[in-house]
Structure 1
Amino acid sequence: MASDIMVETRPHAVAANDIELSIVMPCLNEAETLAICIEKANRFLATSGVAGEVVIADNGSTDGSQDIARSLGARVVDVPARGYGAALQAGIIASHGRYVAMGDSDDSYDFEGLMPFVLKLREGYELVMGNRFQGGIKPGAMPPLHRYLGNPVLSFAGRLFYDAPIGDFHCGLRAFRRDSIMALGLRTTGMEFASEMVVKATLAHIRMAEVPTTLSPDGRSRPPHLRSWRDGWRHLKFLLTFAPKWLFFYPGAALAGIGLVLLIALLPGSLRLGSVTLGVHTLLFAAAGVIIGAQLMSFAVVARLFGVRERLWPTSPRIELARTWFSIDRTCVAGAIMLLAGIVIAAVALGGWAGTGFRNMNVEGTMRLAIPSVLLCALGVQALVTGFFTALLTSD
């Protein structure tokens, strides 16, 4: 006669120094699902032989979640600062394990399936991400907006901006070496914490891997804490903030390039394209494009240097090249030359007008001198300012 095998769901006491894996769950009023999550985590530790602990990072629950956690042998860390990222940061800091696995306490992830994560960590990987699109998303587990737009778009942006080998940037189930992630200096307190971890791990060249993970519908009767558009924007904002070449440099280079081509084509005179004539007004917009594009590219250089100074990301050969080329001496010389050239052209335009006795100005001819003059003066001042700013950022 067959009999059911019951596995003890309360962990045996393990000395802090002997803990290999800490399972950290953020919690804010999760009384409906917290117990099953802790029981699954305890069963995993009991059946796998992994020496571990369960840590509940409580964000101020008022439904008795703390008592539920303690009754099942979990360690509760009270986190006064609200936010998904704030709770997880506190839980990671308080954990004792060499490795940390983090996952939501809404029963959407199976904590009994952590062994593939642990094996990857033992192989030497420092961050192991779950991939829900490989492991499977059960019906009703993820809203269509997140499944077909939000997660794919943001994950694609992350791979494009950072060349990260991750297909599911926002999977809530992941595991990592505690010391490696602590060294990244993670700061965000909201849902964008998930993106920050992957972005900074990529910038720090941490070894990463993915394992298939199944996502199930959560077991709560109330709506989730996640707010689709607000939190999606916070993720995208973070991805752009830490990618100055995509936010500033590439758009700036494209805008300046188009403006410069039009500028060269229109300086000699108007250009006719079929039934459309591009004249001095187009020349004005082309010059504006060059100015704005150059400003964006200079922002990219300044942002990269600032990031290195503040240890937001490590330096690189390109950053060191920018540091060399945007020295205060070079930018001052280049800025002075452009500024002087702009003043000379302005003087020529003024001289031409003076030749008429300051009457009967040839507006189009004068504008073809005035626009390059303004452009060169603006670029010259911009180069001077950028040079002094980069010198401030690179000073010891």
Structure 2
Amino acid sequence: MDCETMDCELTILMPCLNEAETLATCIRKAQGYLERSGVVGEVLIADNGSTDGSQQIATDLGARVVQIEAKGYGNALLGGIRAAHGEFVIMGDADDSYDFSSLDEFVAKLRDGADLVMGNRFKGGVEPGAMPPLHKYLGNPVLSAIGVLFFKAPTRDFHCGLRGFRRSSILGIGLHTSGMEFASEVVVKSCLAGLRIEEVPTTLKKDGRSRPPHLRSWRDGWRHLRFLLIYSPRWLFLYPGLALTVLGLVTTLGLLIGPIKLGSVGLDVGTMTYAAGLTAVGYQAVLFSVMVKLFGAREDLLPMSKHYRQLVEKFTVERGLILGLLIFVVGFLVAVWQVVLWGGDGFGTMDAAQTVRTAIPAVLGLLLGFQTIMFSMFAGVLSIPTTDGLTAAKAVNAPEPARSAQ
């Protein structure tokens, strides 16, 4: 059916880079599904620079081909999504590992109102040899579990390559990545935007290519993990930072009174020094998590949750500067008090342990105060209006998404 002359409901999209061995099989299966189901649709090949004649194979079979000049899996898919005529898009690799002749459940979920429908290979079945053991038992389960934990994603197969979505919804969430992490970006940003996500079983069989796949396990696995961490500053910075800050501060204050004995273990100024270091590192991580959220909101990369919105609305550069200055002054006064005590002793030799015990909170106060002042100034930079009128405050006051899992 010609999608250019009538309403097109479905685009079956396949990214392609030298898939001559399997492309024809995939196209025939997709066309067979459209004919059998009666769905008005098209088969679209997003070619990323094939040199094996894949483009001609697709054209001869009646598929539409769009050339995507920018290299990369994400670029190919995003270019294909933009070129699609269908209201819905179902994407899958052109290596004959996914069954394009069985898409009924995807279409049914999309018609029922889902914005994103993920396939689940572990529910539908993985053919022996179709997925390397490293991916099956480590990579996919771990990355999927992280996605569920960080973003409350309602899918247990975070990286299934067969997925369907409402084209307008996916184009509206601001996809940017050009490589393999595009698969993670679609799910993460759909979660953050509050899109309706469903899951259906699908099968995975061993692909029909004689050459190795484009995927590189460790490199691409790290890229996916890095993306998940970057888009969750709460888990990357805030929670570890709070844990370090509390642990370090409690230990430092406890040892400020004097040495502590825990059974046969004695804690003194050496432990206090390291605890103060933990406090400074943790506090910096907490501040950094807020800076990432502010910057993400300004650049329209991360949504603002209700909690962060309220926090930033109450925060001003002046309040931050005052708080930082107060912390700095406390540390400074402790340092002055120590110098006065030293002067009262004739500036002679003092007890080393007691000197360090007093110096540590002084230095910690100076350091935390300075960090707070610098953070406040950075927040002030983000609030400066730009030529497009966007400020951190404006981003914060934007409508809140239906569900923010951040």
Counterpart contact for 1:169–1:198, Cα < 8 Å: yes
**d(CA) in 2 for partners of 1:139, 1:133:** 12
**d(CA) in 1 for partners of 2:123, 2:139:** 17
Match 2:143 to one of 137, 154, 162: 154
**d(CA) in 2 for partners of 1:239, 1:302:** 18
TM-score normalised to the size of structure 1? Answer: 0.95
Deviation of the 1:258 alpha carbon: 0.7
Counterpart contact for 1:339–1:378, Cα < 8 Å: yes
Match 2:204 to one of 215, 231, 249: 215
Q: Which residue of 1 aligns with 2:396?
A: none
**d(CA) in 2 for partners of 1:289, 1:394:** 30
Match 1:25 to one of 3, 14, 35: 14
Match 1:304 to one of 288, 293, 297: 293
Deviation of the 1:325 alpha carbon: 4.0
Q: Deviations over 1:234-259 (max 9, x none)?
A: 00000000000000000001111111
Q: Deviations over 1:280-300 (max 9, x none)?
A: 011111111111111000111
**d(CA) in 2 for partners of 1:164, 1:22:** 25
Q: Which residue of 2 aligns with 1:365?
A: 354
Match 1:248 to one of 237, 243, 246: 237
DSSP 3-state at the match of 2:257 = coil
Segment drifting more, 160-169 vs 382-391: 382-391
- The answer to whether 1:272 aligns with 2:261 is yes
**d(CA) in 1 for partners of 2:109, 2:342:** 76
Structure 2 portions without partners, runs of 5+: 385-390, 392-406
Counterpart contact for 1:301–1:322, Cα < 8 Å: no
**d(CA) in 1 for partners of 2:178, 2:86:** 22
Deviation of the 1:336 alpha carbon: 1.1
**d(CA) in 2 for partners of 1:251, 1:391:** 25
Deviation of the 1:16 alpha carbon: 5.1
Counterpart contact for 2:296–2:302, Cα < 8 Å: yes
Match 1:343 to one of 327, 332, 355: 332
Paired residues for 1:111-122 under 5 Å: 111-122=100-111
Aligned-residue CA RMSD (Å): 1.1
Paired AA for residue 289 in structure 2: A
Q: Which residue of 2 aligns with 1:179?
A: 168
Q: Which residue of 2 aligns with 1:98?
A: 87
Q: Which residue of 2 aligns with 1:37?
A: 26
Deviation of the 1:179 alpha carbon: 0.6
DSSP 3-state at the match of 1:113 = coil
Q: Which residue of 2 aligns with 1:4?
A: none
Match 2:45 to one of 31, 48, 56: 56
Structure 1 portions without partners, runs of 5+: 1-11
TM-score normalised to the size of structure 2? Answer: 0.93
Counterpart contact for 1:17–1:96, Cα < 8 Å: no
Deviation of the 1:357 alpha carbon: 2.4
Q: Deviations over 1:180-222 (max 9, x none)?
A: 0001111111111000000000000000100000001000000
Q: Which residue of 2 aligns with 1:197?
A: 186
**d(CA) in 1 for partners of 2:144, 2:302:** 20
Q: Which residue of 2 aligns with 1:135?
A: 124
Deviation of the 1:127 alpha carbon: 0.4
Counterpart contact for 2:4–2:85, Cα < 8 Å: no
Counterpart contact for 1:244–1:304, Cα < 8 Å: yes
Q: Which residue of 1 aligns with 2:59?
A: 70
DSSP 3-state at the match of 1:175 = strand
- The answer to whether 1:281 aligns with 2:285 is no
DSSP 3-state at the match of 1:130 = strand
DSSP 3-state at the match of 1:112 = coil
- Tell me the matched-pair count: 385
Paired AA for residue 288 in structure 1: G
Q: Which residue of 2 aligns with 1:380?
A: 369
Deviation of the 1:301 alpha carbon: 0.7
